[in-house]
Structure 1
Amino acid sequence: MTRRRAYPLTVGLLFAACLGSRSGHAEGALLSVDQQGLNALIADGQAAAAFEWAFEAGDELSEFKFTGDQGVGANIGEGRRFTRIPRADLTGPGEWATHFPSREGGANATSCISCHSAPIANGAGGVAMNVVVDPGHTGDPRQYLERNTTPLFALSIPQRLAEEMSVELYLQREAARVQACKAGTATAELLAKSVSFGTLVLTRTGDDPCVVDTDTSGLTGIDADLVVRPFGWKGNHATLRSFTRGAAHNELGLQATELVGGEDGDFDGVIDELSVGDITALTIYMAALERPVSLVELNDIGLLEMKDADIRKVTAGENRFAKIGCSSCHTPSMSINDPVFREPSRVPGYVETLFPDGTNPADHALRWDTAVSFDMRSDQPNNLVILDSGEAYHLGALEVDAAGAGLAHWYTDLKRHDMGEALSDPSDPLGIGASMFLTRSLAGVGSTGPWLHDGRATTLNEAIEAHGGEGARSRAAYNLLTELQKAEVLAFLENLVIYHNDPDH
């Protein structure tokens, strides 16, 4: 839970539990977040206040238990509002299979933290919190997909990493285009933050102006548009905003205005269930939550005490983790050149020119020139701790290197990999590949079991043993280790934890 702060009054709109203007009864209602109010603060030179307001509003939204009068749930059919099982069989007027956008699963919850709760609020979910989805509306349980709930902490990190990686790839593609225009053909070896995404072959097919044909068959782990998509088990969402909007629709049955406009796409009798400002607030909140840490770091700053033998075990495990090849996909660290998160983003591929409802975001006051932003190295509200020495240590902020640049320990290459037949989904409704999954971040992995996309692994050892496909070689190397050496690897992983400092306790 976060520290509570007063909301800015200068725009005349408080966001808090109160007798409110959101649809539904007064008891427990919420006032919608006003995107124009956030913009007004920024235009008035109060960008920090806009960030603070958005963060606190997002906190309230994530914890709030919505009611049916406020739009939670959906018209499943059969008089029901919630379902854990996809109901493609319910095709009557307004029922599950007729909702728009097309429903993948649910609705199955009344608040974000009812699923994101382990080990603390905003965390992961146990296997009982798995969601079952049927994106293809097959109505066949054998084709359903099951997804484990992932934690929400510091999600500015994967988005900023992805944005910077994509820009690198765009520049390499453009350099190859220029070369192809000169020489007739060119090959681009795509490399971003030391991660290889394969090759592009460009061939000139026309002159004055130059026209090139691009062969994308050599790409690996990324779409042809070169947009690194860091969200979703399949890596199918580029932005935190897009992922949040989809989760609200599918899991909570809360349809954002930007998703369906003024329509009632889930036929529950409520429209405008989440405002544009609400989605901005939720995005900023999850982006600015505290980062996962390690037990060794907590020991180093005096927040817990580890035995020397345990520290040596973790260190040995980290070295062995790299030696057996796990770090080739679970990249331990990457730099972030510009550690400012902005909502909305300015980076091509991460900017929506149109909302899903077909309207222009600028017409809803969502503009890049008044983006809500924060410095990931310093501005997060949580986990600013005072050490025994009296020194302030911002445990929640992005780490920095010796030169002051951002340094993300996120343990992923943000690339899709073939994980083998045993881990394959029973269907491939997204067309990405049944066995293809985004490399799961290991930040906080010691706190977030069960593991893997469907929560099948009850221990980290089981999760390693399940790796196939491109992970088979590292699994084989792991199996050649002695039991003591395996224990060292597991100790390293268990050392990567989620921590929340509560100054009131």
Structure 2
Amino acid sequence: MRFKLEKIKNTLFFSFISLNITLPFLAMHINAAVVDEEELTSVAQTESPMMEHCDEAVSTGSFVEIFECGDELFEVRFNALDGVGMNVGDGGRFTRVPRADLTNWSTTTPARATGPNAEACNVCHTTETIGGAGDGAGPAGLNVIRDPLHSGSPSDFIQRNTPHLFGMAGLQLLAEEMSSDLKRLVDNTVDMACRNNAAVEQPLISKGIHFGSINVNPPCPDPQVEIRAHGIAQDLIIRPFQWKGSELSIRHFSRGAFHNELGMNPVELAGDNIDGDFDGITNEITIADNTAMTVYLAAQPRPTSLLELSQLRRELRRRHGAEGSRVADELGLPDLTFAQQQAIVNGQQIFKDIGCDGCHRSSLSVINTQYSEPSSHPAYREQIFPGGQPGLDPSQAIIFDITRDQPDNQVFVGNRLVKHLGAFEKNRMGHALIRLYGDLKLHDMGARLAENIDETGSGASVWMTKELWGLANTAPYLHDGRASTISEAIIEHGGEAEQSRRNFSDLANIDKENLLAFLNNLVLFFPSEEE
């Protein structure tokens, strides 16, 4: 059965999550989490669900209303009447260790690789930012333990460091345009070979990044097409999310987190009126709920830098005097000395000199600045969701401009907007600058970073280049959080990054200090008054 929901202010609830950390195969108690329909009915007589579904907000088509509903979903502490968690054995509702030994855990619809391990998104996605608030990143100690093979053997467990969630729309739009570029190159190469009745080989390059090559040999109309993909799946579709580059879109990322981490079973995965995780609740996350969360995540502010924030302080002071200085103080903007600025600038040059920018590209640009949910790119949207659920109509998409419309990090002096730190910058051609310090490409990082299992089939030591924007606020580092400092993370590099690692080790101490000054300059900003 499904219980009637009542809206309750999220700020009233500060309960701490209870986590079951027992290892698999330990003896289970007879008692279990409340998931029985009769027991849940009893609970509902005195308690209420914590969430309000976003169907009404999404039906308005209003970007602001949809964003706000997604914001509430991100913060709400779900309870049993919402369907959070599941019976994970030993009387628990949450677990940090996957329970493949339990029938109900291993047969959820769809299968889970982890959790449920939290009762709210911001249990894991939270950290202190420049500006004093805290939003969108994972602190130390909240790594996710996964069992993707469902073996129940700890030797097959892997860990994933929680990433920050800033700037996601820029990454998806980059992936969409780059995938379109690569498809166009394939089509053009086939066309050229057929027109000239001769073999043609061309590199596969998008936005200056090499993804292999294509070779086409006639006769046409059915030529032999050989794609030698490098750092990308054979279908030449870039999947910009997760450490292995395994998630296609923000929507996929969102619904996976609902299902795996929170135990909030999405309708678009399980189907209508199906209790896919045996917790007594159906239709836990509606299609509209996931739409609202997707829009909210897509509209998160971009990361920034200490240099940019310090420059903003100077501009506020110069243009608006004492009032500008007051605003800068309230926002917590840094005031870098000349020596600090120079160290960052020197460090950026060293970053290039030792070859780090070969993978960690400082910025890429996107022509289309309109983020659309569902996507305007056919490969990044679904007409029919798993479970037979109808997809959203692209003609009724929710659209916002990533260079203008993000609600957060707008800096005002009085009633005048003087800087929008949340929106992506534009270049001279009006394209959005995505200062990601990445390349959306898979790389072999060597034996030190190899796992015991190959989760995605791309290789146990193969990882998507981790974007460095926001680096200073997101320790610990690397896919499993093994590096407590940036220097450790660099030393762990190998494989395709081996030469850069050696170059770093050979630097003089002053050059290492300048390099770290530059990397620690890459920050997240979220002022406390916006919480």
Deviations 1:233-271 (A, max 9, x none): 000011000011111111001111111112211111111
Question: C-alpha separation between the residues in 2 aligned to 1:177 and 1:284?
Answer: 38
Aligned to 2:119: 110
Aligned to 1:283: 294
Q: CA deviation at 1:78?
A: 4.1
Deviations 1:290-348 (A, max 9, x none): 11110010110103211000000000001110111101101001111111100000113
Q: CA deviation at 1:90?
A: 1.6
Aligned to 1:189: 203
Aligned to 1:143: 156
Question: C-alpha separation between the residues in 2 aligned to 1:501 and 1:282?
Answer: 21
Q: CA deviation at 1:98?
A: 1.5
Matching of residues 34-433 of structure 1 within 5 Å: 34=55, 38-39=58-59, 41-42=60-61, 50-91=62-103, 95-119=104-128, 120-182=133-195, 183-204=197-218, 207=220, 210-216=221-227, 218-262=228-272, 263-302=274-313, 303-361=333-391, 366-386=392-412, 392-433=418-459
Matched, 1:463 2:493: no
Residue number among 8, 15, 23 corresponding to 1:17 in the alignment: 8
Question: C-alpha separation between the residues in 2 aligned to 1:233 and 1:306?
Answer: 33
Matched, 1:449 2:471: no
Counterpart of 2:347 in structure 1: which amino acid? G
Q: Are 2:441 and 2:465, in contact at CA under 8 Å, matched by a contact in 1?
A: yes
Question: C-alpha separation between the residues in 1 aligned to 2:52 and 2:223?
Answer: 52
Secondary structure of 1:489's match?
helix
Question: C-alpha separation between the residues in 2 aligned to 1:473 and 1:102?
Answer: 40
Q: Are 2:165 and 2:297, in contact at CA under 8 Å, matched by a contact in 1?
A: yes
Q: Which runs of 5 or more residues in structure 1 are unaligned? A: 1-13, 43-49
Question: C-alpha separation between the residues in 2 aligned to 1:451 and 1:381?
Answer: 29
Q: Which runs of 5 or more residues in structure 2 are unaligned? A: 11-40, 314-332
Secondary structure of 2:119's match?
coil
Question: C-alpha separation between the residues in 2 aligned to 1:354 and 1:504?
Answer: 37
Percent of residue pairs bearing the same amino acid type: 40
Q: CA deviation at 1:391?
A: 5.6
Aligned to 1:32: 53
Question: C-alpha separation between the residues in 1 aligned to 2:302 and 2:238?
Answer: 21
Q: CA deviation at 1:79?
A: 3.7
Secondary structure of 1:197's match?
strand
Aligned to 2:34: none
Q: CA deviation at 1:18?
A: 6.5
Q: Are 1:123 and 1:448, in contact at CA under 8 Å, matched by a contact in 2?
A: no
Q: Are 1:126 and 1:149, in contact at CA under 8 Å, matched by a contact in 2?
A: yes
With 110-119 and 347-356 compared, the bigger mean Cα shift is at: 347-356
Q: Are 1:124 and 1:151, in contact at CA under 8 Å, matched by a contact in 2?
A: yes
**Quick one: structure 1 residues 168 and 240, their matched pair in 2 at CA, closer, same or farther if it must change by over 3 Å?**
same
Question: C-alpha separation between the residues in 1 aligned to 2:442 and 2:378?
Answer: 21
Q: Are 2:50 and 2:77, in contact at CA under 8 Å, matched by a contact in 1?
A: no
CA RMSD in angstroms, aligned pairs only:
2.1
Aligned to 1:498: 524
Secondary structure of 1:160's match?
helix
Q: Are 2:8 and 2:50, in contact at CA under 8 Å, matched by a contact in 1?
A: yes
Q: CA deviation at 1:373?
A: 1.0
Question: C-alpha separation between the residues in 2 aligned to 1:113 and 1:374?
Answer: 24
Counterpart of 1:201 in structure 2: which amino acid? N
Q: Are 2:86 and 2:263, in contact at CA under 8 Å, matched by a contact in 1?
A: yes
Q: CA deviation at 1:466?
A: 0.5
Q: Are 1:235 and 1:416, in contact at CA under 8 Å, matched by a contact in 2?
A: yes
**Quick one: structure 1 residues 204 and 494, their matched pair in 2 at CA, closer, same or farther if it must change by over 3 Å?**
same
Secondary structure of 2:348's match?
helix
Counterpart of 1:282 in structure 2: which amino acid? M
With 314-323 and 399-408 compared, the bigger mean Cα shift is at: 399-408
Question: C-alpha separation between the residues in 1 aligned to 2:429 and 2:528?
Answer: 30
**Quick one: structure 1 residues 311 and 132, their matched pair in 2 at CA, closer, same or farther if it must change by over 3 Å?**
same
Q: What TM-score, normalized to structure 2?
A: 0.85
Question: C-alpha separation between the residues in 1 aligned to 2:226 and 2:98?
Answer: 39
Question: C-alpha separation between the residues in 2 aligned to 1:321 and 1:292?
Answer: 19
Secondary structure of 1:272's match?
coil
**Quick one: structure 1 residues 388 and 485, their matched pair in 2 at CA, closer, same or farther if it must change by over 3 Å?**
farther
With 153-162 and 351-360 compared, the bigger mean Cα shift is at: 351-360
Secondary structure of 2:210's match?
strand
Q: Are 1:18 and 1:28, in contact at CA under 8 Å, matched by a contact in 2?
A: no
Q: Are 2:275 and 2:281, in contact at CA under 8 Å, matched by a contact in 1?
A: yes
With 466-475 and 72-81 compared, the bigger mean Cα shift is at: 72-81
Question: C-alpha separation between the residues in 2 aligned to 1:502 and 1:126?
Answer: 18
Question: C-alpha separation between the residues in 1 aligned to 2:203 and 2:388?
Answer: 36
